[in-house]
Amino acid sequence: MASACSEDLPISPIDTTSVTESVNSSGSKSLSRSPSNSSIKEDRWPALIISKESRTGVRRVIKSRDPVMIERSNLVNISKLIVKELIETSLKYGRMLDSDSMPLQHFFIVLEHVLRHGLKPKKGLLGPKKELWDILQFVEKYTIEAQDITSSVRDLPTVRTHMGRARAWLRLALMQKKLADYLKILIDHKEDLLSEYFEPDALMMSDEAIVIMGLLVGLNVIDCNLCVKEEDLDCQQGVIDFSLYLRSSNQCSESSEDDLDHDNMTTVLDQKNYIEELNRHLNATVTNLQAKVETLTTTNALMKEDLAIAKNNILSLYDENTNLKKELGLDVNADRIDEGGGGGETGQTKKSETNSEVEELKVQLENERRQRQETEKELSLQISLKAEMEVAMKLLEKDIHEKQDTIVSLRRQLDDIKLINLEMYKKLQECEQELTQKGEMVTRLQAKTSQIGQILNNLEKYNHLLKDAEKGGHTSTKGNQPKK
């Protein structure tokens, strides 16, 4: 469309300015060459004629063009510029774009204008309002991949308006890299789907929608990371700064400075990413060290508790030791006193008493050993008996299971035999009925045969009578004839 429009115009406004500048420059040159006034007038007349003709041609073409077509061409051209800028920035910096990227914000604003161009207003006061969100919800009926983003947009707690849900849906579709495919589905079904929502001269109903779809295909090379929950999508989006996309001749001299600024920006961003990575690593090490410190503090507390318990035990043992030492000291003193005063007889009696106590203790020890051996034998016998009982129980369980299986099989066989007996009984009844019917038939046939025999006998008798009658007739005729 833009190329066609440029062909229709005889001279664009930019061309007119350039022509007037060239004519003015030529006029200035001629002024410098010839001092006469006639030459000045001859040089100035062509510039005025060209400028007048170009302005009238532009006015005629603008008046003849449709404003809706101009809107569509403007949207397509600005979409081309913004998509180009978006791809160049993503390839230049080689980073994932987020919601702070200005070209990405401009892209969503223009895409919203493109999709809402020519949207029908609501019919009457009580009629439903045509919303972009209602159109985007139809995509999940044709593709399963759109169901996830549509359901997630419906469940967003921060978005309440239909336009906010549509903006969130477009952002999720761009992150999914399926925005061009979803737009293609809508364009393919524009006759039965989009005609209800858009005017006939809308951008989505025209051929420029294919150009927009081609531009969106190029965005599949871009990686985006957009946090939909943190953005205020219900409010109206920002304004596009067209100075970023419209460059004049004065900016050519500043391109080298812009390149230097871009290089500096790349270095700064690289340093920022490096610092962020270092910060992440340091945070990870700090968390690990904090975990280790916590474990060490817990172990230190446990060790302190163990040390306090050990100190208490040592003190108690020390007290017991001192008490025992005191008791032993008293006993030793008493023994010494007894040895000094009593003489040798008491020592011998003590020895004999101790020997007798030792022998008694030995006897008790042997008895306890015997009892222990006997109890161990009994325990082993009980264990073996228990093991045998368990084996016997297992065998009994197996026998019971087998018998249950045999009972089940026998019951099944019995049911089968019952069914066979019922069938045989039914067949026997049928055979008896057939025999009774056949007997009745036999009796009927015998009665018929007897009747037929009687009829035959009667016929034979009648036949003999006829024969006898015929013979009597012949004889009578012979007797009545005259003799010759």
DSSP 3-state assignment of 225? strand
pLDDT in the model for residue 26: 39
d(CA 376, CA 383): 10
pLDDT in the model for residue 275: 80
| Helices of type H across 137-247 | 139-142, 146-154, 162-176, 179-188, 208-217
DSSP 3-state assignment of 97? strand
Q: Which residues have a Cβ under 8 Å from the Cβ of 158 and sit 6 or more positions away?
A: 229, 232, 233
pLDDT in the model for residue 131: 85
Please state the three-class secondary structure of 228-282 as a single string. CCCCCCCCCCCCCCHHHCCCCHHHCCCHHHHHHHHHHHHHHHHHHHHHHHHHHHH
Tokens of 29: 């040159």
pLDDT in the model for residue 332: 54
pLDDT in the model for residue 443: 94
pLDDT in the model for residue 473: 77
In this structure, which amino acid lies at residue 23? V
Task: Give yes or no for a contact between 220 and 90, defined as CB atoms under 8 angstroms apart.
Answer: no
d(CA 472, CA 477): 9
Torsion of CA 85, 104, 222, 90, to 10 degrees: 50
Instruction: Give me the tens of pLDDT residue by residue for the chain, a chain 484 residues long.
Output: 333 333 333 333 334 333 334 334 433 333 333 333 433 333 443 333 333 344 444 444 444 578 889 998 999 999 999 999 888 888 877 667 888 888 888 999 999 999 999 888 877 566 667 788 989 999 999 988 889 999 999 988 888 899 999 999 999 999 988 999 999 999 998 888 888 888 999 999 999 999 999 899 888 888 888 888 888 888 877 777 777 777 654 555 555 566 566 666 667 777 777 787 778 878 888 888 888 899 898 988 898 898 889 889 888 888 888 888 887 776 656 555 555 554 555 556 767 777 788 888 888 888 888 888 888 888 888 898 889 888 998 998 898 988 988 899 899 999 999 999 999 999 999 999 999 999 999 999 999 999 999 999 999 999 999 988 888 877 776 666 655 4
Which among 94, 83, 245 has a CA at the least distance from the CA of 174?
A: 83
Which among 435, 417, 436, 414 has a CA at the least distance from the CA of 425?
A: 417
What are the Cα distances from residue 198, in Å, to 68, 163, 374? Answer: 13, 16, 104
| Helices of type H across 2-66 | 2-8, 13-33, 37-64
End-to-end CA distance of the chain: 150
